[in-house]
Structure 1
Amino acid sequence: MAKFNFDEKVDRRGTFSYKWDSLSDPELLPLWVADMDFKVAPPIYEAVNRCAAHGVFGYATENDDYYNAIISFNKRHYGVDLERDWIMPVPGIVPALTAVLQALTQPGDEVILQSPAYNCFFSCIRNSGLVASENRLLYRDGKFSIDFDDLEKRASSEKARVLLVCNPHNPSGRLWHSDELKRLSEISRAHNLIVISDEIHCDIRPNGSIFHAFSTVNEGYNDHLITLGAPSKTFNIAGLKSAHVICRNKDYQYRIDRQININEICDVNLFGVAATIAAYTECDDWLLELNDYIQENYQILKAFFTENYPDIRVAPLESTYLAWVDCSSLELSGEEIKNKLIDEGKLYINDGEMYHSPQDSFIRINLACTKDTLKEALKRFKKVFCQN
């Protein structure tokens, strides 16, 4: 029997919500930006309220409980052994990625990444004076895989410096297999690439599936690995600004820490510290039910397209709560589909172009919402693209 009510409708309008309050039309239904419409787990709510009840919100610092929470969660869920000295707290993955890139590269260096890719990856690379080298994912029979031959060519470039891996992958939903990650590691080692592994989505996946942290696939190369992690996606606390960089290499640590301070992203959020401790120590049962609920929404989405649009293909959702949908049968670009849904259906989703999708006509749909919200969104989709 379910312990948590993910069907509860929470009105987020008027709460400073980027997802809900930044849209000009109040009738728009947002299934775009990657945060969830669910209330946080009770232990997080209670931890934040204890902080609020104290009434003094001064500068914060991390304590032993904070570091031990990150260490214990990674050990418990993924068998990863971390040391406190490897963990550098930051307010978010995106500013952390920028700091890491600026610390370990020179302007003009190339950063290899698998596209389609999270849109902020491209801005982090561009704003750091670097060049994005797109290793486009192969798309065959409705499934995505890495083009290792193309990756080898890109890695051999004299300007290639970093391999940026989204593990698991946003937006395709791929949960990379250990042999795929080992091949990435081998290529990186052969060409002396630094690996940055963004693992922010790793906890969101079907229960029983296995996530392989990059640090577990080739321990001999971990001295050239930087991992980016956060409880924000998993536990819906992005607004509390809590993330962390994990780095074993002492020289890299020094350079990254210096850049974090230069970029002034070294301060942590008081509420974020409390929420991180609660999330990583008391919320495993909530996470199990969340993953089941997201998979139920995925099945609703798949059934809808199978019944009404059999030529539209939904990529297998091996991870994340973001469905990646091939709408090429509509013979419109992803941006055209998005705009048509906004104008005619009052439905806001993301288009594939913003992620540099090599394939035409993809859209991204956020499934971290109530079933009623999802069904209303699909009803609006059907209204716009009615079938004869």
Structure 2
Amino acid sequence: MLVRVVATGLCHTDLTVPTMLPQEMLPTVVGHEGTGVVERVGSAVAGIEVGDHVVMSFRSCRACEPCKAGDVGYCEQSLLLNYLGMRADGSTTMRRADGDGTVFGSFFGQSSLARHALAYADNCVVVDKALDLTRLAPFACGFQTGAGTVLNVLDPSPEEPIVVFGAGAVGLAAIAVARGAGLETVVAVDPVAARRALAEEYGAHAVDPADETADETAGPVEERVKALTGGGAAYAIDTTALAPVVLQAQRSLRPRGLLVALGLGAAEYTIDAIDLLQSGKIVRSSIEGEADPLVTIPELIALREAGRFDVDHLVTTYPFERIADAVADAKAGTVVKPVLVWGE
């Protein structure tokens, strides 16, 4: 499908992946949180029509064993379909205006940091035309990953406490959906005061990791989390990809607690083996919060409409011409979720 892009969320992955690519795969167009309007539809596409409004998420083949089991984030063709900058047959979808050299694209089956994107039925979710596409862009990845981790991986009962390390877009989405689901105790750990304040607006307890000596209640992060959760969190989510923080998250758990590491960046993590072996704790990762975009995105939109997933205020919009400002603000932590908006 040819999609006219209306808005594109700017995700940490968009900033990280290009720095990891070999030189021969540059230049490349990233962007994987696109929303837009379908302008043309291929002959093999069913269920999506010209004029439909869509959220574009990650691709999967829908035919391998993981896909048939519903685990589309672990598709056997995921690397080829999402990261290698070309179609499955090796052809590319973009070219320079002067024709001089290859431009790689097809990032997450969309490369939506562009006015138009070529997308597919397996990664497009049709949404109500009355909905604001600028607010839905982060549902494609960031919000989906945070909320999906709570709903699909943890599935906690209301009395089980959760601690979230990193109150950015992914972390706050996890906090929002957890509180919307009625969880009684949610703790947010973040060094940025404004983000801790946002977590507190959801009813979460906020911990400043830098503040270990302020008063008699201060101390190591893991001890403060344990005090707030009655002996340790049942579940921890790390969104920071910082090795020392992941270690804090592990140590913040109660016996048999579960840590899900979501961040992309660190090549290695240090695990406290004694703590792990003596407590039955589990440390694991998750791709996109175990979400199937065709299922999870409509579910999250329904929760949003019901007032149980309040995330609109986390979005800050920028005209696409201000992409440099959006990147700078994202890196500085002055905004939670920058979304680039394309003009007509």
Give the alignment's TM-score, normalised by structure 2: 0.39
Structure with the bigger RCO (C-alpha within 8 Å, sep 6+) is 1
